[in-house]
Amino acid sequence: MVFFLAIFLLLVELGIRQIEPRLSRDLAHIRHLPEVAASLRNHQGTKVLVMGNSLTRKAIEPTMLATGLESHGRASPKLFFFTPDGTSIINWDYGLRRYFLHADAKPDEIYIGTGPLHLHDHRDEASRLAAYYVDRTDLPRVWHEDLPGWEQRCEFILSRLSVLHASRARIKPHVFGTLIPHYFDVEQAINNQRAVAMQRTGQLKDSTPTYDHLATLLATCREAGIRVTLFSIPLPGSYQDPMEAVKLIRSNQARWLSLAPTPGFTASHFPDGYHLNDEGARLFTTALLNALDQP
């Protein structure tokens, strides 16, 4: 009986590995990152990596930004995106190293878009870190710094070994989406409202925010000679710049652009209550390019 169960689980595991990228566009994006890195590595012009999450992805109009950067003196700039949904600085720190730097795919510039909470250190799911973000060379670091208890460490090990285990949170909504009408629309609305609520409070449930992963990412880029620009993105409600993070950014010779207060955005630019629409992306990209002109 145990033997047949093991064979069944092995077959399911192999099946999940084959169909995993089709479980969501986000997983397809993550699994496509090695190809993105290879394209970046081979590009002969200015290599520009845009990092963030869906907030950043929806806020940037790629053609406008590439054209604008060329007018700012970049030679044949090309944009490459690393913007998985629901991510923050811990994912960008480890993911930059795994998919790009450790693959000898070094960008010339990195642009990182953020909301009010995305630069804070806060725990991500051990399963996501294991399956999608942490390279093997960073295993000692994540083990000691980001997996405080044995529960998280066991979860990390299981997810490192099994895509089925790591993807179970993705599989569940996929099944529900098939069985329940409008499931994805409702789930997205709930997630957006949760993000807006967190933005309005301006606080994490944890104690005073820390910025260790931001510091590591900035130091890594500084040592590699990568120019880094971080910018805040407008939301339906106002929020303050994370001043401790801004000080850290500037002390590492990186640039901070405070664009969240950019005027001209209305509720119509946020059709889902959180992300910018196409018109909003064009307005924001124009504001970003204008800000690059400032000293």
Mean residue pLDDT across the chain:
85
Q: Assign 48 to helix, strand or coil.
A: strand
Contact 56, 112 (CB under 8 A): yes
Task: For the chain, give every domain's residue range.
Answer: 23-38+45-122+167-246+261-292
The 3-class SS string of 102-145 reads HHCCCCCEEEEEECCCCCCCCCCCHHHHHHHHCCHHHHHHHHHH
pTM of the model: 0.83
pLDDT band (50, 70, 90) for residue 201: very low
pLDDT digits (tens, 9 = 90+) for 57-79: 999 999 999 999 999 999 999 99
pLDDT band (50, 70, 90) for residue 205: very low
Nearest to 120 by CA among 24, 256, 213, 221: 213
Q: What whole-number percentage of the chain has pLDDT above 70?
A: 76
CB contact set of 89 (below 8 Å; sequence gap of 6+) = 118, 119, 120, 121, 211, 213, 214, 217
CATH architecture, range 23-38+45-122+167-246+261-292: 3-Layer(aba) Sandwich (3.40)
